[in-house]
Chains A and B, each alone.
Chain A
Amino acid sequence: PGDTSVLAGLYGPAEAKVSKELPDRAALEVLLRPKVGLPGVLERSREQLLRQTCEAVVLGVLHPRTAISLVLQVLSDAGSLLSCCLNAACMALLDAGLPLSALFCGVTCALQPDGTILLDPTARQEQEARAILTFAIASSERKVLMATTKGSCSVEEMQQCLAAAQRAATTIFQFYRDSVRRRYSK
């Protein structure tokens, strides 16, 4: 635990290109750069997931015809990369002071062959698992913003993973609160 790290940079609201600007809301763009190599199809699909999650919380109507760019650089990957990216994205949005309607956090669950649920698996545990589920959970009433599954599992197992993830989300939101408190107390 603690070996996956992602660096997030947020730029905006800045001037958008005429082809990309939306007349009533901000155009959000996410760029995910892997540690080695060029971004491929996997990064593109993750970028779209992140983008849709962020669009659900960012109040884009306050900044029409602008572009908000979020750039994520993977520094090291030891499992649970997508939820690490989600958490980094949320902290970047918080830090920049962009208007948000809710906070969100990412939690990964791995379903092992014997049915036990592991939260925030390492790369090794991810490979051995039967299914990996990633949830983005909002801070208001712990609603689910985004869910991604790799592998197969039954509906009950998914519900159990979701409940476990919602409990874990509380810890992550407390961490956000502590970090922000430390920043503002200086």
Chain B
Amino acid sequence: MAEQRLVTRTQFPASAESLKPRLKKAPEFPILEKQNWLIHLHYIRKDYEACKDVIKEQLQETQGLCEYAIYVQALIFRLEGNIQESLELFQTCAVLSPQSADNLKQVARSLFLLGKHKAATEVYNEAAKLNQKDWEICHNLGVCYIYLKQLDKAQDQLHNALHLNRHDLTYIMLGKIHLLEGDLDKAIEIYKKAVEFSPENTELLTTLGLLYLQLGIYQKAFEHLGNALTYDPTNYKAILAAGSMMQTHGDFDVALTKYRVVACAVPESPPLWNNIGMCFFGKKKYVAAISCLKRANYLAPFDWKILYNLGLVHLTMQQYASAFHFLSAAINFQPKMGELYMLLAVALTNLEDTENARRAYTEAVRLDNEKDL
């Protein structure tokens, strides 16, 4: 039969290497790491079902001794959101091979994901004893300290991590610390260095552009946002920021074409529809503007900017009652803004409610003065 023929073909002459009898695969002790490579390949290809099957098979065969199978099983649990079980499995791995800093790092990461930041820092410190020069340990320690609100220690650790090995993530975290402290200039410094190191990272470019925008340095902001868009033409934040800058310059059509790209990718974004609405407003297409702003309002009913815009457009359309309605809602969310009261006053004047209108104007002036002072 074909089968027998096939079987005989696999008889190999004994190799020169193994003079001892072939006991390396003794019936009770299969090689523990026999299918680690297969588990790994399935895992990196995101083939989690197949991966889990192989892991189960291996664990049964080796009776729970195959460390890598347990490790990958824990990683898959973490990806599925099952952090507690993942933590337990990593702890098993750490018991099976206590010398491995990697297992300790994973245990610490699981603790971090569970919100136990203090415990995580302790385990990271233990891991650091096993492996001094690991940038990942320093970086993650820094992140834990951020959550523990010990920003100085966090900065130290992140700078250590940068000395050992530069990575985009570390720069981003350092930037976030500075922003938390409110130090825009230092944050910009860090992001500039990061962009020098890795000029193609759209996240860094966009964040830097937005920071410049906050500070009002429009030229540089636009430059960085433009760079971000060349590398990734569908980047949502960059397009919104660039579009809003174009709108302030009156370039409504160009802004609209840019927004079209994002509207396909992220159709349910209130700020996006708000901006699109204001583009139409600039082009004097008031009904279209109202439609877009209404959609934005539906998606985000508590956003004062959208309500402000709705009030403004309705005023322009001479729908003073609706305008009044929206503006008063906006004031509820943002009571300290002079412009809102001013618009409210305009609405009230046109509704012939002069008493309340005058009061609104007074309030507006008062708030404006306070702001100037």
Do A and B form a real pair?
no
The residues of A with any CB-CB pair to B shorter than 8 Å are none
